Amino acid sequence: MIDRASLLHRAATHATNYLATIADRHVGATATADQLRQHLGGPLPQAGDSGEVVIDALAHAAERGTVATQGPRYHGFVVGGSVPASTAADWLVSAWDQNAGVHVLSPLVAVVEDITAGWLKSLAGLPESWSTGFVTGCQGANFTALAAARHHVLAAAGWDVETQGLFGAPAIDVVVSDESHYTIFNALRMLGLGASRVRRIPADEQGRMRADALRAALANDSGPCIVCAQAGNVNSGAFDPIDQIADICRQRGAWLHVDGAFGLWAAASPTRAHLVRGIDRADSVATDAHKWLNVPYDCGVVFTAHPASHRAAMVMGAAYIVETAAERDPHDFVPEESRRGRAVPVYAALRSMGRQGVADLVDRCCQLATRLADRLQAESGLTIVNDVVLNQVLVRVTAGPDHDAATRAMIDHLQKEGTCWASGTTWHGMAALRVSISNWSTTEADIDRTGDAIVRSATAE
Ligand SMILES: *Cc1c(COP(=O)(O)O)cnc(C)c1O
């Protein structure tokens, strides 16, 4: 007989010990893939191991095999951590094991999803009437939004894409930015809209789509059109001029989609909300909860101004689903059927932080980014190559004969040294270190340690 309670307590002890030391450990993983395979692999046992053995083995391997993305000095890829209430709520979700697809399978999760959707819209400055779907991440959110867009613009042209497919359909003019995130192209690929037949609008030196170039590209055109803009460039943190782009799209009759994977949360801060001005005039918005909102994986969110088009793009209308009263079925707004109650940790994060707490989180990360940029800019031999408008800092070594090689060597040293972790990127053809500050637990002292480590790595032999 398995003692479930003692096993769950054991896992909780491992988890809390893991998190208790997260700020002090080497930030990168220190175990190799082979070491991990040796520790956890081998043939599937004929007779099962006890739960204790399994959980202990995983917890032990996690000490060196995980990356400390939950820690305060992980600055890679705009990852974010998870606020404690959301981690705890996620444990409840696993214990409940609810299917969040339809209301009748879990009234609790369906209602929490409704409440959370409303709170998110109010934080992001989006109208209450918009539809919402909770997906795996911003890739899923971009996909879902663009599926709704595809439905909407083709329906307006008299074509039912869900039943007829794209063969013989009116062509859709898909317009993206030169700096659109690759998940936009992935979504277009999967939707049969083609990753390469799109028109690309040039971006300015900060990576913002040029509104004048968009206006010229769309002038005098008609017919189905989808424009993809971005709130938060994954390198520089810059925002496309959404207000102007919304005007141009209105005039053209185009569907405007905004990828706001992390940048949407600028809307939650009174000091940064101007960056997303006009986003309430978009037709769809995609974002992540698991990045800057500091919720555990996985959770992205899609919002659209057109609930009927959103639903039409997702629902097959399966006859065996019993329609309960007037309650919303969560699966009507996502590509998945069965799924976990991923809105519950978002609810917990929002309720535990409150409106003020989310604004503080955004502001604090932005202030820390500025603090780091100021510090590094003061060093001779280092250059900040972006305008730090949000939580992203791009830094480059500008000493010695070969700045790209010196920058790459600095990144390599930094990652191996383990005080912090940030990734390399290419910005305007130049190598750069990209530092993203998006974790609730990062302090000024952490940022100063990160700054020291970057300076040390830039001057290391
Ligand atoms: C991270 C990111 C995505 C993809 O989000 P996932 O959660 O990884 O699916 C899309 N767009 C932008 C701008 C991003 O930063």
DSSP 103-171: GGG-HHHHHHHHHHHHHHHHHHT--TTSEEEEESSHHHHHHHHHHHHHHHHHHHTT--HHHH-STTPPP
Nearest residue to 233 (alpha-carbon basis) of 427, 432, 451:
427
Burial of 319 (0-12, 13-18, 19+ CB in 10 A): exposed
Q: How far is the CA of 294 from the centre of ligand 1 (A)?
A: 14
Our mutation pick for probing the ligand 1 site, out of 136, 146, 181, 298, counting the most ligand atoms within 8 A of Cβ, is 181
Q: How far is the CA of 78 from the centre of ligand 1 (A)?
A: 9
CB 432, CB 73: distance < 8 Å = no
Burial of 219 (0-12, 13-18, 19+ CB in 10 A): exposed
Q: Distance between CA atoms of 146 and 256, rounded to whole angstroms?
A: 10
Q: What is the pLDDT of residue 325?
A: 53
Q: How far is the CA of 319 from the centre of ligand 1 (A)?
A: 35
CB 406, CB 255: distance < 8 Å = no
Q: For the packed helices 403-417 and 444-459, what is the interaxial angle rounded to 10 degrees?
A: 130
Atom number in ligand 1 closest to CA 137: 7
The pTM score is: 0.96
Atom number in ligand 1 closest to CA 141: 9
Atom number in ligand 1 closest to CA 234: 15
Pocket lining for ligand 1, CB < 6 angstroms: 78, 137-139, 181, 183, 232, 234, 259, 261-262, 288, 300
Q: What is the pLDDT of residue 319?
A: 46
Contacts of 440 (CB under 8 A, 6+ apart): 80, 81, 83, 294, 361
Nearest residue to 389 (alpha-carbon basis) of 267, 243, 124, 206:
206
Q: Distance between CA atoms of 283 and 288, rounded to whole angstroms?
A: 17
Q: Distance between CA atoms of 394 and 404, rounded to whole angstroms?
A: 13
Q: How far is the CA of 9 from the centre of ligand 1 (A)?
A: 34
Q: For the packed helices 343-377 and 84-96, what is the interaxial angle rounded to 10 degrees?
A: 150
Atom number in ligand 1 closest to CA 291: 7
Atom number in ligand 1 closest to CA 183: 10
For atom 14 of ligand 1, which residue has the closest CA?
Answer: 261
Nearest residue to 253 (alpha-carbon basis) of 393, 157, 142:
157
CB 313, CB 148: distance < 8 Å = yes
Q: How far is the CA of 8 from the centre of ligand 1 (A)?
A: 33
Q: What is the pLDDT of residue 316?
A: 73
Taking CA 343 as the corner, what is the angle to CA 340 and CA 344, rounded to the nearest 5 degrees?
90
Atom number in ligand 1 closest to CA 262: 15
Question: Count of CB atoms within 10 A of residue 404's CB?
Answer: 14
Atom number in ligand 1 closest to CA 288: 7
Compute, in degrees rounded to 10, the torsion defined by CA atoms 251, 257, 261, 264. Answer: 40
Output phi, psi for 436, to 5 deg.
-115, 130
Q: How far is the CA of 285 from the centre of ligand 1 (A)?
A: 12
Q: Distance between CA atoms of 63 and 433, rounded to whole angstroms?
A: 26
For atom 7 of ligand 1, which residue has the closest CA?
Answer: 137
Q: How far is the CA of 292 from the centre of ligand 1 (A)?
A: 11
Q: How far is the CA of 454 from the centre of ligand 1 (A)?
A: 26
Our mutation pick for probing the ligand 1 site, out of 177, 233, 288, 342, counting the most ligand atoms within 8 A of Cβ, is 288
Q: For the packed helices 242-252 and 211-218, what is the interaxial angle rounded to 10 degrees?
A: 10
The per-residue DSSP string of 280-340 comes to: GGSSEEEEESSSTT---S--EEEEES-HHHHHHHH----TTS---TTPPPGGGGSS-SS--
Q: How far is the CA of 254 from the centre of ligand 1 (A)?
A: 23
Q: What is the pLDDT of residue 1?
A: 57
Q: Distance between CA atoms of 54 and 48, rounded to whole angstroms?
A: 9
Q: Distance between CA atoms of 69 and 79, rounded to whole angstroms?
A: 7
- pLDDT by position in tens, the chain (length 461): 569 999 999 999 999 999 999 999 999 999 999 999 999 999 999 999 999 999 999 999 999 999 999 999 999 999 999 999 999 999 999 999 999 999 999 999 999 999 999 999 999 999 999 999 999 999 999 999 999 999 999 999 999 999 999 999 999 999 999 999 999 999 999 999 999 999 999 999 999 999 999 999 999 899 999 999 999 999 999 999 999 999 999 999 999 999 999 999 999 999 999 999 999 999 999 999 999 999 999 999 999 999 999 999 998 754 455 555 578 899 999 999 999 999 999 999 999 999 999 999 999 999 999 999 999 999 999 999 999 999 999 999 999 999 999 999 999 999 999 999 999 999 999 999 999 999 999 999 999 999 999 999 999 87
Our mutation pick for probing the ligand 1 site, out of 179, 209, 234, 285, counting the most ligand atoms within 8 A of Cβ, is 234
Q: Is 294 left (phi over 0), alpha (psi -120 to 50) or beta?
A: left
Q: What is the pLDDT of residue 327?
A: 87
Our mutation pick for probing the ligand 1 site, out of 75, 135, 138, 176, counting the most ligand atoms within 8 A of Cβ, is 138
Q: Distance between CA atoms of 285 and 300, rounded to whole angstroms?
A: 11
For atom 3 of ligand 1, which residue has the closest CA?
Answer: 138
Q: How far is the CA of 439 from the centre of ligand 1 (A)?
A: 16
Q: Is 278 left (phi over 0), alpha (psi -120 to 50) or beta?
A: left
Q: How far is the CA of 164 from the centre of ligand 1 (A)?
A: 31
